[in-house]
């Protein structure tokens, strides 16, 4: 099992844990703390990291993330384990459980506001920062199956929300891309790459490749991709070439997450399941 706590992060467990909704693919939500309103003409000094730690462990615990990250020093503090929800986005009653969507729904508050001043230099966006420690956060997210992708595109200062994409695709999202929320952060983020690429799947092998008694590379590939997308909870050991009930149940969970029902969610992959799973 991947690490529940980011290796090297300062631990400040709040204890108020709650499970995520593992029907959905794993993800990361990125924020900025936006502690001050500065401008290019009037920059302001960055707020001290320890001040934000005191806030999230005190009066701000009701909106605490998983991680507080300082992109200038690389320092990180963690308040919730990876398998718990955190509380940094609006989660309206009766709607999408925005704080809980995914095998993990990791939330990162970046210590930053536009035109913050550090070491005498002014930074307009997170993309302009040294982004120290980002590689460790990304490696941790990948270990939980989060792909490097931005399913709604790389963040800008505008809000662009699509609930279907949110519910069906894992990856990285900005606060401004999260349903039920009105914020527009984090703004432009550093570019990254380097995750192990997902193997390009062969064409759909046909329905006859799956089911009781089947043993082949397509069954293994299906299981591996289900795990990558956050739909592997029924595996006790992991996917293999041999079709089993865990394969059917995990496939069914994925189909249900597409809002399919009846024969479209029977746990046996057809062309649409295959295309959506690898899409």
Does any domain span residue 199? no
Q: What digits encode the pLDDT tens for the residues 62-104?
A: 999 999 999 999 999 999 999 999 999 998 888 788 999 999 9
Is the model's pLDDT at 196 over the cut of 80?
no
Does any domain span residue 170? yes
Among all chains, which residue has been given the structure tokens 């909106």? 63
pLDDT at 195: 43
Does residue 69 sit in the same domain as residue 140? Answer: yes
Q: What digits encode the pLDDT tens for the residues 209-221?
A: 999 999 999 999 9
Q: Give me 144's structure tokens.
A: 């939980």
Does any domain span residue 229? yes
- Residue 201's pLDDT band (boundaries 50, 70, 90)? low
Q: How far is CA 67 from CA 9, 141, 193, 268, in A?
A: 8, 12, 21, 38
Does any domain span residue 5? no
Q: What digits encode the pLDDT tens for the residues 220-251?
A: 999 988 988 889 999 988 899 999 999 999 99
Q: How far is CA 119 from CA 35, 116, 125, 186, in A?
A: 18, 10, 16, 22
User: What's the CA gap between 177 and 187, in Å, rounded?
Assistant: 11
Q: Which domain holds residue 263?
A: 207-278
When divided into structural domains, the chain yields a total of 2
Tell me the mean pLDDT in the region 126-151. 95
Does any domain span residue 20? yes
Is the model's pLDDT at 198 over the cut of 50?
no
Q: CATH number, domain at 221?
A: 1.10.101.10
User: What's the CA gap between 58 and 60, in Å, rounded?
Assistant: 5
Is the model's pLDDT at 113 over the cut of 90?
yes
Q: Which residues lie below 8 Å from residue 128, measured CB to CB, with a gap of 6+?
A: none
Does residue 158 sit in the same domain as residue 233? Answer: no
Does residue 160 sit in the same domain as residue 257? Answer: no
Q: Which residues lie below 8 Å from residue 273, measured CB to CB, with a gap of 6+?
A: 251, 254, 255
Does residue 222 sit in the same domain as residue 97? Answer: no
- Residue 162's pLDDT band (boundaries 50, 70, 90)? confident
- Chain centre distance of CA 27: 2
Mean pLDDT over the full length of the chain: 93
Q: CATH number, domain at 15?
A: 3.40.80
Cβ(230)–Cβ(102) under 8 Å? yes
Bridge partners for 272 per DSSP: none
Least confident of 28-32, 192-196, 201-205: 192-196
Q: How many CB atoms lie within 10 A of CB 223?
A: 24
């Amino acid at each position: 099992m991947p690490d529940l706590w980011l290796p090297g992060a300062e631990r400040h467990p709040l204890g108020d844990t709650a499970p995520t909704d593992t029907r959905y693919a794993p993800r990361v939500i990125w924020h900025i703390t936006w502690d001050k309103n500065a401008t290019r003409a009037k920059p302001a000094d960055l707020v001290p990291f320890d001040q934000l730690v005191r806030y999230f462990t005190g009066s701000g615990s009701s909106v605490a993330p998983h991680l507080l990250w300082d992109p200038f020093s690389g320092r990180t503090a963690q308040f919730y384990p990876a398998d718990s929800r955190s509380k940094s986005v609006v989660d309206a009653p009766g709607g999408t459980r925005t704080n809980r969507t995914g095998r993990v729904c990791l939330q990162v508050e970046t210590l930053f506001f536009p035109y913050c001043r550090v070491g005498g230099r002014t930074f307009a966006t997170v993309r302009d920062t040294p982004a120290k420690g980002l590689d460790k956060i990304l490696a941790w997210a990948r270990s939980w199956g989060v792909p490097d992708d931005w399913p709604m595109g790389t963040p800008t200062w505008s809000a662009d929300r699509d609930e279907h994409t949110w519910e069906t695709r894992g990856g990285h999202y900005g606060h401004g891309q999260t349903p039920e929320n009105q914020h527009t952060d984090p703004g432009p983020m550093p570019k990254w790459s380097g995750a192990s690429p997902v193997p390009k799947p062969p064409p759909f092998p046909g329905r006859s490749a799956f089911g009781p008694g089947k043993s082949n590379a397509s069954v293994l590939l299906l299981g591996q991709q289900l795990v990558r997308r956050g739909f592997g909870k029924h595996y006790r050991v992991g996917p293999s070439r041999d079709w089993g009930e865990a394969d059917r149940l995990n496939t069914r969970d994925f189909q249900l997450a597409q809002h399919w029902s009846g024969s479209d969610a029977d746990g046996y992959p057809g062309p649409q399941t295959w295309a959506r799973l690898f899409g």
